[in-house]
Amino acid sequence: MTDKSDITILIPGNLHPHAVERLSGAFRVLRIDRADAALLGESEREKVRGLAVMTRTDAAFMDALPNLEIVASFGVGYDHVDAKHAGANGVMVTNTPDVLTEEVADTAVGLLINTVRELPKAEAWLREGKWAGTGNYPLTRSTLRGRKVGIFGLGRIGQAIARRLEAFGLPISYFSRRPVEGVDYTYYPSLVELARNVDTLISIAPGGPSTEKAVNAEVLKALGASGVFVNIGRGSTVDEDALAAALADGTIMAAGLDVFANEPNVPEALMKAENASLLPHVGSATIHTRQAMADLVADNLVEWFERGKPITPVVETKDVALPKR
C-alpha cells in the first residue's frame, strides 16, 4: 500500500464528518472555510493534489492549485464542479452514484404519495385535535389509482423510481437526452410531449445549463389540471415562478418538492401553496446512506493515489490518467 501521509487533500467548506475522518487517517488534510484560493499561501496551493468537496468548485479555483490531480465530490449530482474544465486540464472528477440510488427512489415515492394523498396534512389534522373535535379528515381530491407516470431523467435513480411505481400498477413513460437501452417504457422525444401524455411528472434530471428551467410554464400546462409534479433531482431544472403560478391558478393539481433553486431559501409563493408538499432536500438523508457516500468519496481518493483508477469517475473525466511524477 502506497504511503499517502505526504499527499495533501484540501477540503473547502463543509464535508461529511465520516469522510473527514477517513481522509485524515490516510492523507495530510488541509481545511479552509470556502473554495477561495486566497485563503491559501503559495506553498500550500502547490502541495494540494486532491480536493474533497460539497461546494462549488469552479475553473479558477482548480487552476489556482497547480498540482491538483483529482476532485472527489460528495453527491451524485456534480453540477457544482466544473468537470468539463477539469477534464480538459487533466484533472479527474468523481462523484458518489449508486450508493444513494435506492434511498432517493424511496423518498421520491414517499413524496409522491404525500402529495397525492395529503398525508402530512392528515397527520397535522390528527395532532391538532381536529379528528376528535371536527371529524374525519376531508377526502382527498386525488389518488394514485389510474395515474400515468412520466419520468424526466431515466438514469439510475429514475429507473429505480420506475421499478417501484410499476409495482403500484402504474404505466411508465420517460424523457431523457436519448432513449435508454434495455427498458420497455415509452420514450417521448421532448419534455412537453411527455407531459402531454401523462398526468404525473417526476423529475430526477441533473442540473446544468442544458436543463436550466426545463420544467416551465409550457410543460406545466401540458401536464394539465389533474397533473402532479414531483422534483427529487435539482431545483435549477424548474421555473419556480411558473410552478407557483401553476399551483395557484389550477394549471396543475399539486406538486411535491425536495429540491429548490436557491437552497435553503424557498420562494414564499411555494411556501404558501397549500397544494404543495415541501421537503428540505432529504432525498438521501439517512445515516446509512450518507455514510456510504462519505466512504465512496474517501475510496475514490485512495484508489486514485494507489492505482490511478478511481471507482466512480464522471463521464467528462473518464479518460484522465494519473500524471507521471
Query: Rounded CA gap, 283 and 104, in Å?
Result: 5
Chain Cα centroid distance, residue 283: 8
Q: Under DSSP, is residue 295 helix (H, G, I), strand (E, B) or coil? A: helix
Distance (Å, rounded) from C-alpha 75 to C-alpha 98?
Answer: 10
- Residue 237: exposure state from Cβ atoms within 10 A (0-12, 13-18, ≥19): buried
Q: Which of these, 286, 285, 227, 289, lies nearest to 256 by C-alpha position?
A: 227
Nearest to 240 by CA among 211, 279, 264, 269: 269
Written in H, E and C, the secondary structure of 54-70 is CCCECHHHHHCCCCCCE
Q: Which cell is 97 given?
A: 452514484
Instruction: Give all strands (DSSP E) within 164-253, no chain letters.
Output: 172-175, 186-187, 200-203, 228-231
Q: Which residues are catalytic?
A: 234, 263, 281
CA distance 256 to 109: 10
